[in-house]
Structure 1
Amino acid sequence: MKPSSSLQKRLGLGLTLGTTLLWLAATVGAWLVVQHELNEAFDSALEETAQRILPLAVLEISNRENPREAQHVATLKMHKEYLTYLVRDAKGQILMQSHDANPKIFNQQPAEGFSTTKKYRLYAASALRQTVFIEIAEPLEHRREAAREALLALLLPLLALIPISLFGTWMFVRISLRSVLAYRRAVEARGVGDLSPIQVARLPAEINPLAEAVNHLLERLRKALETERSFTANSAHELRTPLAATLAQIQRLRHEAPEGPLRLRAAKIESALRELTRLSEKLMQLAKAEGGGLLSEAPQDLIPLLAHVVDEWNHSGGHRIELHLPTRTSVYSTIDPDAFAILLRNLIENALKYGTADQPVEVSLTDQALLRVVNGGPPVPEPVLQRLTERFVRGNSEISGSGLGLAIAKTIVQGVNARMKLISPATGRRDGFEVCVWLPLASTVEC
């Protein structure tokens, strides 16, 4: 799946790129206009120069002793001429020329008006009834250089304006999307079980209907989940009393029945009722895990809770549990004590039920509130391991059980923003099964 890109990044880059392209287009347009105006100004300068020089040249030629003799006009000091000229008669004979003029660049036969060669722009004017002509030449490179300098003057400010525009656009977009970013953070900060409406002020008009739709969806989902949890909890609670009464009657019937098929059938019914009672208890635990309220208002010390639950199991399960406490005298967590007890009971019950009977179950808690429950037994295949936290999934189908223990544990772990990992074989062993739960504390360690 292609990763999504930031709207702020797309808007910032897109607006800056669009503005830059518009600036470049405007610069090119301005440069074309400037180039046209420069050509008009240079052509006007050629025409004005010809009209100023021609009368003086005619007067100078008329006052000579030999008018047909070519004459170089001397310069006051040596310099590079951008404008060079020739004064010729109607037959093309040179009568006068500027000091740096090259006759080869001019037309062979003078003619009035503008003309252009590969390297020069020419203008010719006449006097004395087209008997005397003057032609002025200007290098086209001179005009190109002026056009390049004008273009450079237009482009140089863009080098500073582009980063300024990028920064300004980025800040403007960031400020404009501030409420959207606040909405995103509010959604990200939600816990797994938090379905309350998301309140963020001053959302854009394009986003506000989406936020309202999300709140309506959350409300519908919350009501549906509450209905489901209420039904599960109420059903499990209402079943406890008739199940207990029925179980008592079956136990009495089994004791009163004579040896034979009737007593065996009563024992099977009693076993089935006990499984149904345990399932009812599991459903009540699952309803509590999904119902929220898994975090305590004040931090709770986990060590006495852990020791109490393990002691209960050791008294009822034959002292198969080995408890390893941290070096610290107390380990505080924000998890609710009842939720922690449910989590621990399900993990221990799972380890006792599916672990090897001749190996102890190791329960440990570290200083960083890492809870580990390890039992013996053959390694669990990876495909099965990945599905063990799903509801009604059991690793060993030959052992009776509801398949809800690890699902309840996972629901509690998600509800308190903790993390759980299943490992098989257990750490440092070739067999066994291990559950690591990182409870909500500031620091964690790895298995």
Structure 2
Amino acid sequence: MADSQDLSLRVVPEGGGELKALAEAFNHMLERLEAFLDRERRFTRDAAHELRTPVAAALAQVEAAEKGYLSQEEVLPAVKEELLRMKRLVEALLILAREGRVERVGLDLAALAREEAEAFGVPYEGPESLPYRGNPLLLAQALRNLLQNALLHGEGKGVRVVLEVAGKEAFLGVVDQGPGMPEEALKEAGRPFFRASRAPGEGLGLSVAQKVAEAHGGRLELLPNTPSGLRARLVLSLTAD
């Protein structure tokens, strides 16, 4: 395996007892390692493709200005927009690369949710206060992504921020009354660069939200709303360290 670098090779689990169990465990490790490397290669390929687009667009604008086809007044806003897109992509990729390492501090999850709701001009539903230990910057970014997703793909219909507590879990999310997402899209929506529609965007918003939830020992849930729309929420443990 070391010589060929072929992780599809497997050890034949012959014999019995501990030797066979070791071979099966080794094969299981190889399967997981092969799947991990496949995901990394796919992610790297997709990330390179997404970053290449704004770079090419910005370069084309600069070259057009150099040749006198466009004025600086025309070029600067377009280049700035592409650079901002690259900035959003890089920031999202950095969050995805954190691998669960986050610094946690004491915060008020209700105050954070209410602040983001006010910033987007949508109502907040939930408790007045909810103590929590987490990373406020990452949690705010995840909620912001859910809001942007609802306003864009949910067509801004009935968008509201909702914070609920059930047992030892907090549910922080966004509800909308837009067209919703097909069942197959709901299964794929957390994958980096996945787009359920042709609406503008990088396809990283829900992936980042999912990564932030996982970094806090939780998960991202995407559920159909009744009678229409989407309920996207971070499920966060209130007992996690």
TM-score normalised according to structure 1 size = 0.37
1:190-201 alignment to 2 at 5 Å? none
Whether the aligned pair in 2 keeps the contact of 1:393 and 1:404 (CA below 8 Å) is yes
Q: In the aligned structure 2, how far is the partner of 1:214 from the partner of 1:420? A: 27
- Alpha-carbon distance in structure 2 between the residues aligned to 1:381 and 1:431: 11
Work out whether 1:353 is the aligned partner of 2:152: yes
1:387 and 2:184 equivalent?
no
Give yes or no for the alignment of 1:363 onto 2:161.
yes
Letter of the aligned partner of 2:144 in structure 1? R
* Structure 2 counterpart of 1:323, one-letter code: Y
Give the aligned partner of residue 285 of structure 1: 92
Q: Corresponding residue for 2:138?
A: 339
User: Contact between 2:221 and 2:232, CA under 8 Å: does it hold in 1?
Assistant: yes
The counterpart of 2:233, out of the listed 404, 425, 436, is 436
- Structure-1 separation of matches of 2:216 and 2:114: 21
The equivalences for 1:41-52 within 5 A come to none
Shift of 1:365: 1.3
1:247-326 alignment runs, 5 A limit: 266=75, 270=78, 274=81, 277-297=84-104, 300-311=107-118, 314=119, 319-326=120-127
Whether contact under 8 Å (1:324, 1:362) holds in the other structure is yes
Question: Following superposition of structure 1 onto structure 2, how do residues 6-405 of structure 1 map, counting pairs within 5 Å?
Answer: 207=21, 266=75, 270=78, 274=81, 277-297=84-104, 300-311=107-118, 314=119, 319-327=120-128, 329-333=129-133, 335-357=134-156, 359-367=157-165, 368-397=169-198, 399-405=199-205
- 2: CA distance between counterparts of 1:308 and 1:206? 57
Q: Is the partner of 1:326 in helix, strand or coil? A: coil
Tell me, in whole angstroms, the C-alpha distance in 1 between the residues paired with 2:92 and 2:62: 24
Q: Which runs of 5+ in 2 are unaligned?
A: 1-17
Conservation of the 8 A alpha-carbon contact between 2:61 and 2:78 = yes
Shift of 1:435: 0.8
Distance change in 2, residues 1:244/1:342 (3 Å): farther
Native 8 Å contact 2:57 2:82 kept in 1? no
C-alpha distance in 2, partners of 1:232/1:396? 17
Alpha carbons of structure 1 residues 438 and 378: separation in structure 2 relative to 1, 3 Å: same
Sequence identity of aligned pairs in percent?
23
CA RMSD between the two structures: 4.7
| Letter paired with 1:352 | L
Deviation at 1:434, TM superposition (A): 1.7
SS of residue in 1 equivalent to 2:188: coil
> Are 1:407 and 2:207 counterparts?
yes
SS of residue paired to 2:161: strand
What SS does the corresponding residue of 1:434 show, helix, strand or coil?
strand
Q: How many residues get paired?
A: 217
Residue 241 and residue 390 in structure 1: after superposition, are their counterparts in 2 closer, same or farther (change >3 A)?
Answer: closer
Residue 42 of structure 1 is matched in structure 2 by: none
Distance 1:323 1:303 in 2: 9
Q: Conserved in 2, the CA contact under 8 Å of 1:355 and 1:375? A: yes
Gaps of 5+ in 1: 1-203, 258-262
Partner of 1:10: none
Task: Letter of the 1:363 partner, please give it.
Answer: V
Q: Which has the larger radius of gyration?
A: 1
Cα distance in 2 for partners of 1:227, 1:243 equals 25
Q: TM-score w.r.t. structure 2 length?
A: 0.64
Q: Is the 8 A contact 1:347 1:406 kept in 2?
A: yes
How far is the alpha carbon of 1:363 from its aligned partner?
0.6
Matched to 1:347, the amino acid is L
| Secondary structure of the structure 2 residue equivalent to 1:389 | coil
290-299 or 214-223: bigger deviation: 214-223
Go from structure 1 to structure 2 and tell me whether the alpha carbon gap of 1:323 and 1:282 turns closer, same or farther (over 3 Å shift): farther
Matched residue, 1:21: none
Greater relative CO, 1 or 2 (CA 8 Å, sep 6+)? 2
d(CA) in 1 for partners of 2:229 and 2:161?
Answer: 14
- CA gap of 1:211–1:373, structure 2 versus 1, over 3 A, is same
Kindly state the Cα deviation for residue 361 of structure 1 after the two structures are TM-superposed. 2.2
* 1:393-440 Cα deviation digits (max 9, x unpaired): 32332x21122211222233344442332223x24xx22222132112
